[in-house]
A and B are shown apart, each in its own frame.
Chain A
Amino acid sequence: MANLKELSSVPEVLASGHRMCAGCGAPIVVRQVLRGAKAPVVVANATGCLEVSTTIYPYTSWNSPFIHTAFECAAASLSGVEAAYNSLKRQGKITEEIKFVAFGGDGGTYDIGLQSLSGAVERGHNMVYVCYDNGAYMNTGIQRSSATPKGAETTTTPVGKTQPGKTERRKDLTKIMIAHDIPYVAQVAPSHWNDLYKKSEKAFSVEGPAFINALAPCPRGWRYDAEDTIEMCRLAVDTCFWPLYEAEYGKITVTYKPRNKKPVTEFLKAQGRFRHLFSPDNEHILEEIQAEVDRQWEELLALERLGLESQEQQE
């Protein structure tokens, strides 16, 4: 268990002065994750808010080498960097230990970049891919992605006379990544910084690909006050909307179980994007959302038990 004093003495890779909005969850995720690297990193970034706001030529906020190529291919581009590293290391042209990490938004990861991410982890590149999930295409003005929660209003799922925001459920990317049977997958939120730090340390220390899905609230898109970002994370975790867990070679451990699981409405009502759900007409949607959160949470606990049982049988 690390303490805050130790963690705050780790040199920052992402410098202050970047142009992300006040209260943006993404840079908090980046800074927390990179504390676990323990070696020089090369950072890849998919097109999105983080990229456009941290590398505005002739400036860069990154104290590490950085590469951005396009929207859907951060994983593929970084896999090329890692392949070059392996080749040059084998030839004795490089000796130092370097870690490789990619950051992509939910659009760049759940949607347009899913294929290149899936390909890269299947090939087994030694790299960590971090999705900062703010639940929409924020950079282009808050359009829905497959990570947008059901019921949320976005600019492409507006609340209209016949449509109550997004009607589809969100994709469970963390589970999809676990299904790749890679060394390490984790779901994190920056409110639980110590949990996040431990998971990041693990992700960087395994041999082979690791995936971290990080909740990264966006005050503009979610419509809450900038100072409440960490509170949004806490509500997401305590309502089990965003469970904290990890999977080591598929074996699931839930790393945080709220003592009192809060109703999901606590998370929803704090944000403008769900305001319309609280009109009497939409009560059934709230019920559906609660039922889905409950089902997924129970399923996750069952998967954890299953892993434990099969471990006991083996022992």
Chain B
Amino acid sequence: MASEQKRVAMTGNEAVANGMRQINPDVVAAYPITPQTDIVQFYSSFAADGLVHTEMVTVESEHSAMSATIGASAAGARAMTATSSQGLALMWEMLHIASGYRLPIVMPVVNRALSSPINIHCDHSDTMGALTTGWIHIYSESAQEAYDNLIQAIRIAEHPDVLLPVMVCQDGFITSHGIEIVFLLPDEVVKEFVGEYKPHTSVLDVENPIAVGPLQLQDYYTETKAQEAEAMARAKKVILEVAEEYEKISGRKYGLFEEYKMDDAERVIVVLNSTAGTTKAVVDELRAKGEKVGLLKPRVLRPFPADELVEALSSAKAVAVMDRAETFSTRGGQLFTEIRAAFYESHKRPLMRNYIFGLGGRDTTTREIHRVFKDLDADLERGQVDKLVTHLDVRE
């Protein structure tokens, strides 16, 4: 039975801060950066009002935020931080250390473009660059999803088959600062869902001393990394199990990705986060005219659900994968490259092209989405894509 939920108007940041309040981590170490700052501010006031038992560590940089979170997590605390953009970039060294030490840290990330040029608005260049850091990546279309994903992330990260850090991403400003209707679970329900954290080791256990972070050379490093990859593979099943349990308390369904009007869809757009909402509106409009269009919105990018994506997309005839970040490979964005590679073994390969869009917060409206569906239509007529990679909405 889904629990009685509070219907509130909130920004994505406020929803996430409230999720954190309900999780009530032992330690939060964080540093401000637009557009994540609100999360830290809201949370600081929860701590100042004694609503949480969290020890706040107001560090002097994001590098230290992640270092302190790692220290706290290694000490057996449930530890969290949050960041965006340059902050995530500054953490980069420590992201690998958090995952390498198999610490179940959960971090909300509010997606923002990376410098340069300096820009404070949304794109995904920050977290796309962190796909190889050993973190589980979960993406959110709305404030509701950011909240739901955050709560589920605790259970995923701390699952004994996983023990990997998780970043929960939402779009800067669009989601983080836009006010939406959000359903908050009751505090006790979240408390019970996440449960008490029982770490299997701790550097505070002075009776059973452990050494965290020793040197591993040619003789052991490979095994450590292979085990990490195995844990990432196991995470897929855990993510689905946790989603199923979460559905029971919330009534909201989550998978590895969302399929919107995909049943008989011939032309499909694949896109992350808030732009999926815009795309849904266009899909509805075109469906009303009898056009067979659909949307696939990935939720989990690490582990990458390659087989499931191929299965879901193989009945489409033309697919546009939209990436909100450059890779500068000149062969397309990260999402495109990975989805296209997943089709290598498949006999049913739809036409597939890539759009790089929405960089530095460039507004992507229904007009651009209409254009993408139109391009796919022309491709189908032609029997091939006319361009592999297109920068959408670029002034000449």
**Interface residues, chain A, CB within 8 Å of chain B?**
40-42, 44, 51-52, 55-60, 62-70, 72-73, 76-88, 90-91, 94, 96, 98, 115-116, 118-120, 122-123
Contacts and interface: CB of A to CB of B under 8 A. Distances in A.
Contacts of A66: 203, 209-213
B204 A85 contact: yes
A116 B29 CA distance: 13
Interface string B47-64: 000000111011111011
B215 interface: yes
B209 A87 contact: no
Contact of A83 (B55, B93, B214): B55
A119 B60 contact: yes
Contact of B215 (A52, A72, A84): A52
B328 interface: no
How extensive is the interface on chain B, given as a class?
A: 35 or more
B47 to A, nearest CB: 11
Contacts, number: 168
Interface in B204-239: 204-206, 209-217, 220
B97 interface: yes
> Which of A40, A62, A85 has the most CB atoms of chain B within a 10 A radius of its CB?
A85
B204 A79 contact: no
B211 A87 contact: no
A60 B75 CA distance: 18
Given A76-B71, A83-B68, A94-B204, 20 more contacts: A42-B204, A60-B214, A62-B209, A65-B205, A65-B206, A69-B71, A69-B97, A70-B93, A70-B97, A76-B68, A78-B71, A79-B64, A81-B74, A83-B72, A83-B77, A84-B77, A88-B75, A91-B53, A116-B67, A119-B64
Given A56-B215, A84-B72, A76 B64 contact: yes
A62 B213 CA distance: 12
Given A42-B203, A42-B206, A84 B79 contact: yes
B84 interface: no
Given A62-B209, A64-B206, A68-B214, A115 B55 contact: no
6 contacts: A44-B71, A57-B216, A65-B205, A66-B211, A91-B53, A119-B61
A81 B63 contact: no
B275 interface: no
Contacts of B58: 123
A69 B213 contact: yes
Contacts of A41: 206
Interface of B: 26-27, 29, 53-55, 57-61, 63-64, 67-77, 79, 93-94, 97, 202-206, 209-217, 220
Contacts of B79: 80, 84
B267 to A, nearest CB: 47
Nearest to B93: A70
B223 to A, nearest CB: 10
B204 A81 contact: yes
Given A70-B67, A116-B60, A81 B72 contact: yes
A70 B214 CA distance: 11
Contact of B53 (A73, A76, A87, A122): A87
A85 B61 contact: no
A119 B30 CA distance: 13
Given A57-B214, A67-B71, A91-B26, A116 B61 contact: yes
Please list the 10 inter-chain residue pairs (A to B) with the smallest Cβ-Cβ separation, ordered nearest first. Answer: A80-B71, A119-B60, A80-B68, A84-B75, A84-B77, A68-B213, A76-B64, A76-B67, A55-B214, A73-B67
Contacts of B212: 65-68
A77 B68 contact: yes
Nearest to B196: A93
A182 B97 CA distance: 30
B29 A67 contact: no
A65 B209 contact: yes
A195 to B, nearest CB: 28
B156 to A, nearest CB: 21
A73 B64 contact: yes
Contacts of A59: 214
B107 to A, nearest CB: 14
Nearest to B98: A69
Contacts of B94: 69-70, 73
A120 B64 CA distance: 9
Given A44-B71, A67-B212, A87 B54 contact: yes
A98 B70 CA distance: 19
A79 B209 CA distance: 19
Residue among A51, A64, A73 with the highest chain B CB neighbour number at 10 A: A73
A240 to B, nearest CB: 34
Given A55-B213, A70-B94, A86 B55 contact: yes
Contacts of B202: 65
B55 A87 contact: yes
Nearest to B64: A76
A83 B27 contact: yes
A81 B203 contact: yes
A56 B210 CA distance: 13
B228 to A, nearest CB: 15
Given A84-B76, A87-B26, A65 B210 contact: yes
A68 B94 CA distance: 12
B206 A85 contact: no
A64 B206 CA distance: 7
Given A65-B203, A69-B67, A70-B97, A80 B57 contact: yes
A247 to B, nearest CB: 22
Contacts of B26: 84, 87-88, 91
B149 to A, nearest CB: 24
Nearest to A19: B215
